[in-house]
Amino acid sequence: MRNGLRFRITRNDGHKPKTKKENHIMKSRKNILTYIVAALSILVTSANSSPAAPEPCDGTVQLTSQSNFEMRQVGRQTFVEFDFTGLHDICLADHSVVTGIVEGHLVQRISDNGDFGLTFDEVLSYNGGTLGYRGEGSLTRGNWQSNVMTVGLGTGPLAGIHGQGTFVFTGPASLADVIYYVYTP
Protein backbone atom coordinates (compact mmCIF):
# COMPACT_ATOMS: atom_id res chain seq x y z
CA MET A 1 0.00 0.00 0.00
CA ARG A 2 0.99 3.38 -0.66
CA ASN A 3 0.61 6.22 1.73
CA GLY A 4 0.41 8.91 -0.88
CA LEU A 5 3.89 10.29 -0.42
CA ARG A 6 5.94 10.52 -3.49
CA PHE A 7 9.55 11.35 -3.85
CA ARG A 8 10.77 12.91 -6.95
CA ILE A 9 14.50 13.07 -7.58
CA THR A 10 15.57 15.84 -9.86
CA ARG A 11 19.06 16.49 -10.95
CA ASN A 12 20.48 19.99 -11.01
CA ASP A 13 23.98 21.10 -11.90
CA GLY A 14 24.82 22.18 -8.35
CA HIS A 15 24.14 18.70 -6.99
CA LYS A 16 25.94 15.75 -8.46
CA PRO A 17 25.75 12.17 -7.41
CA LYS A 18 28.13 11.10 -4.72
CA THR A 19 30.06 8.80 -6.98
CA LYS A 20 31.12 11.67 -9.25
CA LYS A 21 32.25 13.69 -6.23
CA GLU A 22 34.30 10.76 -5.01
CA ASN A 23 35.84 10.47 -8.49
CA HIS A 24 36.67 14.19 -8.43
CA ILE A 25 38.41 13.83 -5.06
CA MET A 26 40.43 10.88 -6.32
CA LYS A 27 41.44 12.83 -9.43
CA SER A 28 42.54 15.76 -7.25
CA ARG A 29 44.65 13.44 -5.13
CA LYS A 30 46.26 12.00 -8.24
CA ASN A 31 47.00 15.53 -9.53
CA ILE A 32 48.54 16.53 -6.21
CA LEU A 33 50.71 13.40 -6.21
CA THR A 34 51.76 14.15 -9.80
CA TYR A 35 52.80 17.70 -8.81
CA ILE A 36 54.75 16.42 -5.80
CA VAL A 37 56.61 13.84 -7.90
CA ALA A 38 57.40 16.48 -10.56
CA ALA A 39 58.69 18.94 -7.94
CA LEU A 40 60.90 16.28 -6.35
CA SER A 41 62.35 15.26 -9.71
CA ILE A 42 63.16 18.92 -10.50
CA LEU A 43 64.93 19.27 -7.14
CA VAL A 44 66.97 16.11 -7.72
CA THR A 45 67.90 17.20 -11.25
CA SER A 46 68.95 20.69 -10.16
CA ALA A 47 70.98 19.30 -7.26
CA ASN A 48 72.86 16.99 -9.61
CA SER A 49 73.56 19.73 -12.17
CA SER A 50 74.56 22.54 -9.80
CA PRO A 51 77.65 24.47 -10.89
CA ALA A 52 81.00 23.90 -9.28
CA ALA A 53 82.07 26.09 -6.39
CA PRO A 54 84.10 29.17 -7.36
CA GLU A 55 87.86 28.64 -7.18
CA PRO A 56 90.09 31.49 -5.93
CA CYS A 57 92.92 32.68 -8.16
CA ASP A 58 95.63 35.02 -6.83
CA GLY A 59 97.05 37.06 -9.69
CA THR A 60 98.86 40.22 -10.61
CA VAL A 61 98.37 42.96 -13.17
CA GLN A 62 101.30 44.97 -14.49
CA LEU A 63 100.57 47.99 -16.68
CA THR A 64 103.34 48.22 -19.27
CA SER A 65 102.23 51.24 -21.29
CA GLN A 66 99.77 54.13 -21.23
CA SER A 67 98.50 56.18 -24.15
CA ASN A 68 95.85 58.79 -24.93
CA PHE A 69 96.41 60.33 -21.51
CA GLU A 70 93.88 63.04 -20.64
CA MET A 71 93.49 65.11 -17.48
CA ARG A 72 90.80 67.68 -16.73
CA GLN A 73 89.71 69.67 -13.71
CA VAL A 74 86.01 69.91 -12.81
CA GLY A 75 85.42 71.95 -9.68
CA ARG A 76 87.39 70.37 -6.84
CA GLN A 77 87.88 67.08 -8.69
CA THR A 78 90.49 65.96 -11.20
CA PHE A 79 89.62 63.39 -13.85
CA VAL A 80 92.36 61.27 -15.39
CA GLU A 81 91.78 58.77 -18.16
CA PHE A 82 94.00 56.74 -20.44
CA ASP A 83 94.30 53.60 -22.52
CA PHE A 84 96.65 50.93 -21.22
CA THR A 85 98.31 47.64 -22.09
CA GLY A 86 99.85 45.20 -19.71
CA LEU A 87 100.07 41.68 -18.35
CA HIS A 88 97.41 39.91 -16.29
CA ASP A 89 97.50 36.48 -14.63
CA ILE A 90 94.52 34.15 -15.01
CA CYS A 91 93.83 30.65 -13.68
CA LEU A 92 92.54 28.12 -16.16
CA ALA A 93 90.19 25.20 -15.51
CA ASP A 94 93.15 22.78 -15.31
CA HIS A 95 94.47 24.84 -12.32
CA SER A 96 97.36 26.30 -14.31
CA VAL A 97 98.15 30.00 -13.93
CA VAL A 98 99.00 31.76 -17.20
CA THR A 99 99.76 35.36 -18.10
CA GLY A 100 97.74 37.08 -20.78
CA ILE A 101 98.11 40.43 -22.47
CA VAL A 102 95.54 43.07 -21.54
CA GLU A 103 94.37 46.17 -23.37
CA GLY A 104 91.92 48.53 -21.76
CA HIS A 105 90.75 51.96 -20.70
CA LEU A 106 90.79 53.49 -17.20
CA VAL A 107 88.97 56.54 -15.83
CA GLN A 108 89.94 57.92 -12.42
CA ARG A 109 88.30 60.70 -10.37
CA ILE A 110 90.41 62.31 -7.65
CA SER A 111 88.90 64.67 -5.04
CA ASP A 112 90.91 67.40 -3.36
CA ASN A 113 90.57 65.56 0.00
CA GLY A 114 92.40 62.50 -1.39
CA ASP A 115 89.34 60.31 -2.02
CA PHE A 116 89.19 58.77 -5.46
CA GLY A 117 87.27 56.37 -7.63
CA LEU A 118 88.19 54.49 -10.76
CA THR A 119 86.59 52.30 -13.38
CA PHE A 120 88.21 50.22 -16.08
CA ASP A 121 87.36 47.89 -18.91
CA GLU A 122 89.95 45.53 -20.35
CA VAL A 123 90.23 42.56 -22.65
CA LEU A 124 92.67 39.79 -21.78
CA SER A 125 94.13 37.82 -24.71
CA TYR A 126 95.76 34.45 -24.28
CA ASN A 127 96.60 31.71 -26.79
CA GLY A 128 94.09 32.96 -29.39
CA GLY A 129 91.24 33.51 -26.91
CA THR A 130 89.86 36.62 -25.25
CA LEU A 131 88.02 37.42 -22.02
CA GLY A 132 86.61 40.79 -20.96
CA TYR A 133 86.89 42.32 -17.48
CA ARG A 134 85.22 45.30 -15.85
CA GLY A 135 86.31 46.77 -12.55
CA GLU A 136 85.77 49.62 -10.17
CA GLY A 137 87.39 50.78 -6.99
CA SER A 138 87.12 53.63 -4.54
CA LEU A 139 89.06 55.10 -1.65
CA THR A 140 86.79 57.04 0.71
CA ARG A 141 88.14 58.35 4.03
CA GLY A 142 90.91 55.74 3.93
CA ASN A 143 88.58 52.80 3.17
CA TRP A 144 89.47 50.92 -0.05
CA GLN A 145 86.74 48.94 -1.82
CA SER A 146 87.00 47.24 -5.18
CA ASN A 147 85.25 44.82 -7.48
CA VAL A 148 86.35 43.16 -10.70
CA MET A 149 84.35 40.71 -12.82
CA THR A 150 84.52 38.97 -16.13
CA VAL A 151 82.25 40.24 -18.88
CA GLY A 152 80.91 38.10 -21.70
CA LEU A 153 81.43 34.46 -22.54
CA GLY A 154 85.11 34.47 -23.50
CA THR A 155 86.52 32.82 -26.62
CA GLY A 156 88.99 30.06 -27.41
CA PRO A 157 90.72 28.62 -24.34
CA LEU A 158 89.09 31.37 -22.22
CA ALA A 159 85.52 30.39 -23.19
CA GLY A 160 83.27 29.53 -20.28
CA ILE A 161 85.38 31.28 -17.63
CA HIS A 162 83.37 33.49 -15.29
CA GLY A 163 84.79 35.31 -12.30
CA GLN A 164 84.39 37.98 -9.71
CA GLY A 165 86.82 39.34 -7.12
CA THR A 166 88.77 42.26 -5.73
CA PHE A 167 92.04 44.08 -6.43
CA VAL A 168 94.51 46.35 -4.62
CA PHE A 169 97.32 48.56 -5.85
CA THR A 170 100.81 47.26 -5.08
CA GLY A 171 102.60 50.09 -6.91
CA PRO A 172 101.91 52.96 -9.32
CA ALA A 173 101.40 50.57 -12.27
CA SER A 174 100.83 47.22 -10.58
CA LEU A 175 97.95 45.51 -8.85
CA ALA A 176 97.24 42.25 -7.08
CA ASP A 177 93.87 40.59 -7.42
CA VAL A 178 91.94 37.64 -6.08
CA ILE A 179 89.30 36.49 -8.52
CA TYR A 180 86.97 33.58 -7.84
CA TYR A 181 86.48 31.71 -11.11
CA VAL A 182 83.82 29.24 -12.20
CA TYR A 183 84.51 27.15 -15.29
CA THR A 184 81.63 26.02 -17.49
CA PRO A 185 81.93 23.86 -20.57
Domain extent, residue 38, equals 14-50
Q: Which residues pair with 82 in a beta bridge?
A: 106
φ, ψ at 156 (rounded to 5°): 55, -135
Please report the pLDDT score of residue 11 as a whole number: 55
DSSP 8-state secondary structure symbol assigned to residue 50:
P
Same domain, 113 and 144: yes
Q: Work out whether strand 161-171 and strand 143-151 pair parallel, antiparallel, or are unpaired.
A: antiparallel
Q: What is the pLDDT of residue 25?
A: 55
| d(C-alpha 181, C-alpha 165), whole Å | 9
Q: How many distinct helices (H) and strands (E) make up the chain? A: 1, 8
SS3 (DSSP) at 36:
helix
Residue 119 and residue 86 in one domain: yes
CATH number, domain at 134?
2.40.350.10
Can you give the pLDDT at residue 185?
A: 80
- Asked if residue 117 is part of any domain, the answer here is yes
Does this model's pTM top 0.85? My answer is: no
> In this predicted model, what pLDDT tens digit does every residue of 78-113 receive, in sequence order?
999 999 999 999 999 999 999 999 999 999 999 999
Per-residue pLDDT, 44: 46
Q: How many residues does this entry show for the chain?
A: 185
30 and 83 share a domain? no
Kindly give the confidence (pLDDT) of every residue in the chain, 185 residues in length, as a single tens digit, with 9 standing for 90 and above: 555 555 455 555 555 555 555 555 555 555 665 656 555 555 444 444 556 789 999 999 999 999 999 999 999 999 999 999 999 999 999 999 999 999 999 999 999 999 999 999 999 999 999 999 999 999 999 999 999 999 999 999 999 999 999 999 999 999 999 999 999 98
Please tell me the total count of domains within the chain. 2
